[in-house]
Amino acid sequence: MLKLDDKLFSFYKSKASDGNPYASLVLVKTMISSDDLKKDILYVNNDCLKLIQQALPLPEAMFILYKITKDVQYLMGAAEANYPDALYLAAIELLQKGTSNDKAIEFMKKCMSLGNRDASIYMIKYYIDKKEFKNAKNVFDLIEYEFDDTLKKLNGILAISRANYNSKSIQFLREHMEDIECKYYVAIQTLFTGNEELLSEFKNNTEDIIGYKNIGLNACLMIARAFKNGTGVKKDLLKSAVWYENALTKGFNDYVEVSDCYQELNQQQKVFDCLNKAAENGDKNGMIRLGKLLLEKNDEEGYEMAMVWFEQAAELGSEEAKEILSKL
């Protein structure tokens, strides 16, 4: 709390009475302690509140008023005026609402230029979640201070996200496998360098981590796709099908993708079942492929059902379905 002698107090009180916002702000600081100013929520009496309002539009006054009222307009006003303490909070507010992302990024970049470590970490996580790995790398390039453990971890995660599986930064993750995020990303690296066993340990885990929601579902899909495409591991369609089936039990609903695996296995009944499920779920591509499959039956019933699915796909805006109907 700011201490003023009687003479100075009288001087600032006089100036504040004349409408000087700077004087009003000085008087506010004689009524609120420094520790209280650091709190997320402030409680003040009416006299103090009046002085704060008189100190507007000074950025610090807007920020203090935000802490009292939680009215976001004051937070944004302080941030627009480049008040350091407001920039980070305003950026998070905008990002969480999903509005004005460009403005949020602008605020975060200003925070980072001021050496705000939390802003750097937040933006790296934000970009990794968005799969915007180049932007995440750009944030790292702007950091001039020494990396702490959090930044070392994020650097390793980013390396794996960018498929830099031989990066030295991955070693930090290997040394901290008790951390689920470290272990999961190492598991991804081991999948794409020849072994699915570590990642398969996560198949029943529904936790969310940096970059992934429901890591069990994502683990199943990554393994299924790796075996289907022969990426990292040897191509094995039977194993791929098993992992796709695991993914379906965990909420995966792209039955067209699953049908591709069964198509390569030449398991036509399962192809039909998957496409039928996709069509029932409103998947236009599933409707078209199911319709084509029904036409191959070369009978009246198959033709009629195919027409139903083509017409539904056309109603949903499929140009391919419209073209097929024009030729039938």
130-186 residue pLDDT tens: 999 999 998 898 887 788 999 999 999 999 999 999 999 999 999 999 999 999 999
Q: What CA dihedral angle connects 136, 139, 140 and 141, to 10 degrees?
A: 120
Say whether pLDDT at 210 is over 70: yes
Is residue 287's pLDDT more than 60? yes
Q: Which pLDDT belongs to residue 28?
A: 75
Structure-token pair, residue 37: 């100013």
Q: Say how far apart CA 223 and CA 122 lie, in whole Å.
A: 29
pLDDT grade, residue 270 (50/70/90)?
Answer: very high
Which of the pair, 18 or 122, is modelled with greater confidence? 122
- Look at residue 21 in the predicted model and tell me its pLDDT: 85
Residue 168 CA to chain centroid, in angstroms?
Answer: 26
What is the SS3 assignment for 212?
strand
pLDDT at 1 over 60: no
Q: How many CA atoms, within 13 angstroms, populate the side-chain half-sphere of residue 98?
A: 1
| Residue 43 near residue 67 (C-beta atoms within 8 A) | no
Mean pLDDT of all residues in 252-278: 97
Interatomic CA distance for residues 211 and 213, integer angstroms: 7
Give the CA angle between residues 238, 243, 249 to the nearest 5°. 130
In the chain, the percentage of residues whose pLDDT exceeds 70 is 96
Mean pLDDT (the chain) is 90
Q: Within a 10 A sphere around the Cβ of 261, how many other Cβ atoms?
A: 24
pLDDT of 253: 96
Which is higher by pLDDT, 318 or 6?
A: 318
3-state secondary structure 54-80: HCCCCHHHHHHHHHHHCCHHHHHHHHH
Q: Is the pTM of this model over 0.85?
A: no
pLDDT at 42: 72
pLDDT reading at 296 higher than 80: yes
36 — pLDDT class (breaks 50, 70, 90):
confident
pLDDT tens digits, 61-108 = 899 899 888 999 999 999 999 999 899 999 988 988 877 778 888 898
